[in-house]
Each structure stands twice: as structure tokens, then as C-alpha cells.
Structure 1
Amino acid sequence: MAMFVHLTSAANAPRIRRSGVRAAGVGQGGARGVHCFPVLASYTLTHQWLRELARFGSRGGLVAVQVRLDDAEEVLAGHYRDRARDAQATVTAAEAVRRIATLEDPRGWEVFVPRAIRPREIHRIRSAPQVVGWRYLPDAHGTRPCTCFGCRVRGGHGARRLLERLPHPLDGPPPPPRVLLARVAAAGDPGDPAALREALHWFGMRGRGPLAELARLSGHPDPSVREELVWAVARWSTPGVADLLDRLAADPDPDVRDAVEAVREP
């Protein structure tokens, strides 16, 4: 029998003892099942996912659920990055343990059981220290964090201080609206397209904005400015955005019309 560890909130422990582990995880291809990791000789590697999972919150901390599976049970095994590429391999439970145990660096690897775990397959449930493992990704500690729009963790611990300390040249944090409006005014009338596009780029990172002051740019002679205006205001909650997009949807330039259609797609 192959032994695995599934990490979950301590609040789920009573239900797991009664009914097993629900197939609440999502694997490659959208399959539903349970994520786990083989029990290795190294306690740290076995519980490497603890700190990463703890970032997303848990009631009462995390517990380790030890699961016994038949050696011939088919599971998916691979690095977590392989999941998005549908590159995780279908192997037996015994083979998944063997492959991961022989890796030079098994950090970031996972095993996915494409079904629920039955109560009789639960070996035991025990508490686990909350300080084991890596956060964000293996080897992240000591590496300068990236604050680009795609990498930064919104609402995470110290996220705002990190953005202020390491601002990204393209992804902010954006300057205050008064500074951006001053740049728009300094660009002239109708205004330098490059300066206006840069200001609109920063406005697009905000949840609201001075729509009345920027609406005039919908008549700018450069279509690239009008297109950037679409992307800037598309996700604003400011009243009047829908009316402005309605006007730009009839713009003579096809790129502007395509931008409006793209931001309105569900």
C-alpha cells in the first residue's frame, strides 16, 4: 500500500473522519479529485506544501491527513507547472512514490487522485507545524520578488509595502490621479499621443477615475489614444463608463471598435 499526505484545514478533520476526503481539488483537464504528496523519508519534503497552502487561509490551521492507496491505483504525478500544460503523467500509486522519491529535488511535485478518498483509506489525521515548506514557489526565499501585474499577490501580507519599496516600471503602483491629470494637461491640446497613452496606461490600473476629464480624449485624432482610453476605463466603476464605451463602439477606426468588443466580452 502506498502512503500519501493530504493537507487541509483543521476544521475539515471531523468530516473527513466520518466521510473521507471530498473530490474538491481541480487537476489537469478540469478533473475533480484530491491533491496529495507521498510520505518520504524527509519530513520537510513530505510537508513542503504547508506554508504555501497556509497563505490562502485555514480555519484552525492545517492538518496532515495520511492516506493509504492500493499500489495499482492510477493517479496523476508531476510538477505543479505541468498541470497547466496537461503534462502530468498517469501512473500507479506505487510508481508515483518511486518517481518522486528518486528525484534530486521533488519540491513543487504533486500527486492527484482523480476521485474522492474513502473513510477506510484514511490512515490517521494529525496536526502539522505551520512553518514547514516554501512559499510562492521553490527557492523564492532570497530572490528579489517581482511586482509586475501578473506576479504580485493582491491583498497578501505586506503587499502594499512591497509595491512601494519595489515599484514596477510598467505595472506600478500607479501615480495619484492628480499627477496623471497634470500629465494629460501638460501633453497639450489635442495632446502628444505618447504622453497621453502613458497616462491612460496608469489610469487603467485604478478601479475608478476622473471620467469627465478624460472623456474628451474620445475625440483625439490619433486612434491609438482612443484605443488606450477604452482599455483604461473598461473596468472602472465610475458612472458614465458604459455611455463612453457606446460612443467608442461606433469609432471609425477598427482597432478601437475591436477593443470595445473585447472589453465587453463576458
Structure 2
Amino acid sequence: MTRLVHIGRQRDAARFTRGGIAARSRGRSGVRGVYAMATLPDYTLTHQWVRELRRWHPGVLVAVDLRIPDDTPVTVGRYGREPWERTAAEAAGLLREIADPRGYEIFIPRAITPAEVRGTRAVPQGIGWRYLPDAHGREPCTCMGCLQPGTPGVAGLRRRSPDFEPSPRKPELMAGLRAASSPEEIAYALRLLGGRSRGAAEELAYLVDHPDADVREALHFVLDNYRGRTARRLQEHLVARYEAEQA
């Protein structure tokens, strides 16, 4: 059995141990699955993705220990590059041999079963790199993908950029969302909404049963920025529908 580590949200820890990990993420080929890292001798390298993932997932993150069969087909490679197809055992061995495995990841193109989850544990929230390995000392990129709203100093960095344009306000983003018609346009409008999401989650409830899976996935992540019972109920509904479709 190959030992891997998945980084997930603390609030989902009980669901991971009880029901496994759903195949929510997309690989380079578009196939859905789960991202993980090999268990390496170096603790920091094993958990290197924590600091970067905190930019995208609000709240506390935990390490989820996995054990999957050695012959499980996976892909392995550095983010942003074409990965290699390997078995789980080969991928873990490859990462142990690489001199600098920072930025590398393993993608399992399926869900993780409850039996493959060996437990969850706390992990330091500031461990690993942010933006990209060796980013310290480099001029930061000011695009929306690299500097999310709320990042310390982001407003000043963007204002100093020659390409600076004021971000649209929440009413403009909601108007754009309501005007979107195709699934692609709706999903894109939801991603733009991102950290701007304030107010009552009821304003997005009309999308909870949208027939397109990408729209529902984008909605699930946007709802992370809403507080209250309605937001939680909508997310639970989305998760229940996804699990029913996978059964």
C-alpha cells in the first residue's frame, strides 16, 4: 500500500473518515479525482501545499492520511506542466528521488474510499510555500489568479501596477451573474464573485439545482464566503446531490 497525504478542510474531516473523499478536483485531462502528495521523509515537503491552499480555501486545513493500492493508476508532475502516468507506488518513489519536489503533486483519477482514509490530523497552517516555490524576493504577479482579495498588501500592489483597473463592485458582479445564460458564463460569473460574496446566501439559491455540474461546483466554492444556516444548507444539498450521482 502506498501512503499519501491529502490536504482538506477541517470542517470536512468527519465526512472524510466516514464517507471517503469525493472526486471533486479536475486533473489536466479534465477527469475528476483527488490531489495528494507522497509521504516523504521531510515533513515540510510532505505538507508543502498547506500555505498555498489556504489562499483558496478559507478556514483551517488538516492533513488526511491515505493508503491506496500500489498499482492504482495516477498521474504525477509539477503543477502547470504535463504530468506523467504512473502507478501510485511509482509516483511516490519518483517524488522521493527528486532533489527538489516542491510544486509536485499526485492526482488520483477517482474518489477515495472510506477504507483508504487512515485518519486526519492537525497541521501547521503556515507550512510550505505561497504563490510558487522560491517566490520570496520576486516581484509578485498582480493578476486575480495570483493575488486573491484579502491578501495582505494586495490593494497597494494592484494600484502600483501599470495594468491596474478597479475591481467591479458586488452589484455589478451580481448583475453579470443574472445576465449570464450559458453554463460557462454562469460558472465564470460565480468565480468572479469569489471573495466579494457578502449578504444573504438566498441570492444564489436559484442555482443550487442547475443541471450543469460545473455551475454547481463553482457555486459550492462561492458559498464558502457566505455565513449562516442557509449557506450551509445549500452546500449540504450540493454535496448530497453529488454523492447521489456518484453512487
TM-score by length of 2: 0.64
Q: Which of 112, 116, 125 pairs up with 2:120?
A: 125
Kindly state the Cα deviation for residue 145 of structure 1 after the two structures are TM-superposed: 1.4
* Whole-Å separation in 2 of the counterparts to 1:160 and 1:103: 38
Q: Report the residue type matching 1:17 in the other structure.
A: T
Does the 8 A contact of 2:55 with 2:148 survive in 1? no
Cα distance change of structure 1 residues 148 and 9 upon mapping to structure 2, 3 Å threshold: closer
Equivalent residue, structure 1, for 2:52 = 52
* Whole-Å separation in 1 of the counterparts to 2:120 and 2:146: 34
Cα distance change of structure 1 residues 145 and 127 upon mapping to structure 2, 3 Å threshold: same
Equivalent residue, structure 2, for 1:63 = 62
Q: Which of 141, 154, 157 pairs up with 1:159?
A: 154
Equivalent residue, structure 1, for 2:95 = 100
Verify: 1:168 aligned to 2:161, yes or no. yes
Alignment of 1:6-25 (within 5 A): 6-25=6-25
Alignment of 1:222-261 (within 5 A): none
Superposed CA deviations along residues 222-259 of structure 1, whole A, max 9, x for unmatched, are xxxxxxxxxxxxx9x7xxxxxxxxxxxxxxxxxxxxxx
Cα distance change of structure 1 residues 92 and 53 upon mapping to structure 2, 3 Å threshold: same
Kindly state the Cα deviation for residue 163 of structure 1 after the two structures are TM-superposed: 2.4
Q: Report the residue type matching 2:91 in the other structure.
A: A
Q: Report the residue type matching 2:44 in the other structure.
A: T
Q: Report the residue type matching 2:112 in the other structure.
A: I
Kindly state the Cα deviation for residue 151 of structure 1 after the two structures are TM-superposed: 4.8
Kindly state the Cα deviation for residue 207 of structure 1 after the two structures are TM-superposed: 4.1
Cα distance change of structure 1 residues 21 and 150 upon mapping to structure 2, 3 Å threshold: closer
Equivalent residue, structure 1, for 2:33 = 33
Kindly state the Cα deviation for residue 58 of structure 1 after the two structures are TM-superposed: 3.2
Does the 8 A contact of 1:5 with 1:64 survive in 2? yes
* Percent identity of paired positions between Structure 1 and Structure 2: 44
Range with greater deviation from structure 2 (126-135 or 153-162): 153-162
What is the DSSP-based 3-state SS (H/G/I as helix, E as strand, rest coil) of the residue aligned with 1:28? Answer: coil
Equivalent residue, structure 1, for 2:106 = 111
Cα distance change of structure 1 residues 157 and 77 upon mapping to structure 2, 3 Å threshold: same
* Whole-Å separation in 1 of the counterparts to 2:26 and 2:97: 26
* Whole-Å separation in 2 of the counterparts to 1:51 and 1:102: 24
Kindly state the Cα deviation for residue 17 of structure 1 after the two structures are TM-superposed: 1.2
* Whole-Å separation in 2 of the counterparts to 1:130 and 1:206: 29
Give the structure, 1 or 2, with the largest relative contact order (CA under 8 Å, sep 6 or more): 2
* Whole-Å separation in 2 of the counterparts to 1:151 and 1:132: 18
Does the 8 A contact of 1:2 with 1:97 survive in 2? yes
What is the DSSP-based 3-state SS (H/G/I as helix, E as strand, rest coil) of the residue aligned with 1:120? Answer: helix
Q: Report the residue type matching 2:29 in the other structure.
A: G
Cα distance change of structure 1 residues 125 and 148 upon mapping to structure 2, 3 Å threshold: closer
Q: Report the residue type matching 1:24 in the other structure.
A: R
Alignment of 1:143-158 (within 5 A): 143-147=138-142, 151-158=146-153
Cα distance change of structure 1 residues 101 and 80 upon mapping to structure 2, 3 Å threshold: same
Kindly state the Cα deviation for residue 157 of structure 1 after the two structures are TM-superposed: 3.1
Task: Say which one has the larger Rg.
Answer: 1
Verify: 1:78 aligned to 2:77, yes or no. yes
Aligned residues: 174
What is the DSSP-based 3-state SS (H/G/I as helix, E as strand, rest coil) of the residue aligned with 1:67? Answer: strand
Cα distance change of structure 1 residues 124 and 152 upon mapping to structure 2, 3 Å threshold: closer
What is the DSSP-based 3-state SS (H/G/I as helix, E as strand, rest coil) of the residue aligned with 1:30? Answer: coil
Does the 8 A contact of 1:148 with 1:168 survive in 2? no
Cα distance change of structure 1 residues 163 and 23 upon mapping to structure 2, 3 Å threshold: same
What is the DSSP-based 3-state SS (H/G/I as helix, E as strand, rest coil) of the residue aligned with 2:29? Answer: helix
